[in-house]
């Protein structure tokens, strides 16, 4: 079994998951579950596992996709101008 664990800056455990496999699917499930319950992290520290890196990148891509609608609106304006 593989242990996936998320901790905060005070080293308090936020979430954990046991998985039979250490692959992209398991890492992605853990990241999605943890982000759903604790919000988007500022920083992610992982070991050298390729599955963890791919899982973090896949979740980051989903978060970037979520902003696509806003980017479509602001791109023609070249960003936000003055509020008035």
Q: Is the dihedral of CA 48, 52, 56, 57 positive or negative?
A: positive
Instruction: Supply the pTM of this predicted model.
Output: 0.62
Domain membership of residue 84 (yes or no) is no
Domain count, the chain: 1
pLDDT in tens, 25-34: 888 888 889 8
Domain-located, residue 82:
no
Give the pLDDT confidence of 51-63 residue by residue, as tens digits.
888 888 877 776 5
pLDDT for residue 9: 85
Structure tokens at 9: 């800056």
Rounded CA separation 19/10 (Å): 25
Q: In Å, what is the CA distance from 84 to each residue of 15, 70, 80?
A: 44, 19, 11
Tell me, yes or no, whether 83 lies in a domain: no
Q: Which domain holds residue 32?
A: 2-77
The C-alpha angle with vertex 50 and arms to 53 and 7, in degrees rounded to 5, equals: 45
């Amino acid at each position: 079994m593989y242990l996936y664990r998320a901790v905060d800056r005070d080293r308090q455990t936020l979430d954990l998951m046991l998985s039979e496999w250490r692959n992209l699917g398991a890492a992605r499930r853990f990241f999605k579950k943890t982000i759903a319950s604790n919000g988007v992290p500022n920083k992610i520290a992982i070991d050298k596992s390729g599955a963890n890196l791919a899982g973090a990148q896949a979740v980051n891509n989903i978060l970037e996709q979520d902003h696509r609608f806003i980017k479509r609106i602001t791109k023609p304006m070249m960003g936000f101008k003055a509020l008035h």
